[in-house]
Amino acid sequence: MKAVLTGNESAAWGARLSRPKIVAAYPITPQTTIVEKIADFIANGEMDATMIHVESEHSAMATCISAEATGVRTYTATSSQGLALMHEMLIWAAGARLPIVMSVVNRAFAPPWSIWSDHMDTVAERDTGWLQFYAENNQETLDSVILAYRIAEDRDVLLPAMVTEEAFILSHTVEPVEIPDQGAVDDYLPPLDLPHRLRPGEPVGYGSLMMPDQYMEIRYRMARAMRRARRVEEKAYEDFWDTFGRLYAPVEEYKMDGADVALVIMGSIASTAKDVVDSLRERGRKVGLLRIRTFRPFPAEEVRKALSSMDAVAVLDRSYTFGHLGALATEVRSALYGSSPPIKNYIVGLGGRDVRVRDLEWIVSDIEKVAKEGLDREITWVNLRGGEE
């Protein structure tokens, strides 16, 4: 069924089609309309789930964790401050190997207060053991919720997953979206079968104190699950293509054939960048685009394959990890270690600042210059009032 949906309605539809039994969430702009939509679905009997109106995001995640531990599928959604408040429980969900799925509407951190988009919130949770998928548009926002459950709940994975969409740019903007058929989703996504679920009468203890002679193996198994998620993800995309006719990949190569320089981007900026690449290509400029959809596990091999023969690579971060480079630039650099073309990091679009066609065109010109003349600097902040020091 085709419909015109906002990003948040798309996320809510993704949740509805995935049939979680428990939804626990707390309001924060711009996530609110996801939960409101789900409340409507439940109120109208279109979704068979219990909504738990928790008093904080910390409790939202804690509630999902305990509910999921009984073997039910759970869902939540948040943004920015709410995600940061959850931090302790994000680590808990991953450590407890509970495949909870959460939509995150990317929003900048305070202070100063901002409700607009950047990736700082989810990038800051990179190391919590969650799978991370960054959507480029509303269709992908919907599809990725279903995909996330499928990948996260696989016995080889059993790690939680977050699906991100950017504040307002996607969350409150309508696009035509294909809503998958419920029957097809049910075939694609079987009910959760959690191997370590709690049951009354079965005395087990999950999460007890563990001594140094055992702890490390538990973390290694999580690392292994993250690695195995790569293969599970591929299969999930293949089956998704067969069932729904839409193709996803951990990295999307756009006009990379014959490119000398490449832009590397996560999220919705990639849409604008595709237009920029198209028009520059028409003018004979050899530029391509690599969109990173899966940030965790990081598709290092695909990135290496796509980028190692470039003359120069421009990595755009809609976030910044204070003290060095943007997180995506750091990952790309480490993926290319040993065979690396010059990589320049462009910090863009923090706090919802528009990343315009002309900003992207400037970045392409700049990286072309790097390709010819070598790296002038490692990192630059784009479209900064007053310029950089």
CB of 38 to other proteins, least distance (A): 15
Residues in contact with other proteins, total (CB under 8 A)? 43
Q: Which of 1, 44, 55, 245 binds other proteins (CB under 8 A)?
A: 55
- Region binding other proteins by CB under 8 A among candidate stretches 58-66, 168-176, 259-267, 280-288: 58-66
- Region binding other proteins by CB under 8 A among candidate stretches 20-28, 331-339, 356-364, 375-383: 20-28
Q: Which two tokens stand for residue 63?
A: 């509630």
Q: Is 22 in the site for other proteins (CB under 8 A)?
A: yes
CB of 136 to other proteins, least distance (A): 33
Using CB under 8 A, which residues numbered 172 to 231 contact other proteins? 197-211, 214
Which CB sits closer to other proteins, 67 or 265? 67
- Region binding other proteins by CB under 8 A among candidate stretches 71-79, 131-139, 142-150, 310-318: 71-79
Which CB sits closer to other proteins, 61 or 367? 61
CB 90 within 8 A of CB 160: yes
CB of 34 to other proteins, least distance (A): 19
> CB within 8 A of 26, min separation 6: which ones?
54, 55, 56, 57, 59, 60, 78, 82
Using CB under 8 A, which residues numbered 82 to 141 contact other proteins? 88-89, 92
CB of 71 to other proteins, least distance (A): 5
CB of 319 to other proteins, least distance (A): 27
CB 284 within 8 A of CB 260: no
CA distance 389 to 343: 21
Q: Is 52 in the site for other proteins (CB under 8 A)?
A: yes
Q: Starting at the edge strand that comes first in sequence, how are the strands of the sheet with 101-106 ordered?
A: 50-52, 22-24, 74-78, 101-106, 161-166, 131-134, 294-296
CB of 67 to other proteins, least distance (A): 4
CB 315 within 8 A of CB 380: no
Q: Which of 72, 124, 222, 379 binds other proteins (CB under 8 A)?
A: 72
CA distance 297 to 251: 11
CB 178 within 8 A of CB 245: no
CB of 186 to other proteins, least distance (A): 17
Q: How many CB atoms lie within 10 A of CB 4?
A: 10
CB of 220 to other proteins, least distance (A): 15
Q: Which of 42, 54, 222, 300 binds other proteins (CB under 8 A)?
A: 54
Render 74-89 in DSSP notation, one character per residue: EEEEE-HHHHHHHHHH
Q: Which of 70, 243, 272, 330 binds other proteins (CB under 8 A)?
A: 70
N-to-C CA span, the chain = 52
Which CB sits closer to other proteins, 91 or 249? 91
Residue in the structure block whose two tokens are 């050899």 = 286
Q: Is 45 in the site for other proteins (CB under 8 A)?
A: no
C-alpha 242 chain-centroid distance: 23
DSSP state of 156: T
Residue in the structure block whose two tokens are 């091999």 = 301
Dihedral angle sign, alpha carbons of residues 316, 321, 324, 327: negative
Contacts to other proteins by CB under 8 A = 21-22, 24, 50, 52-56, 58-60, 62-72, 74, 88-89, 92, 197-211, 214
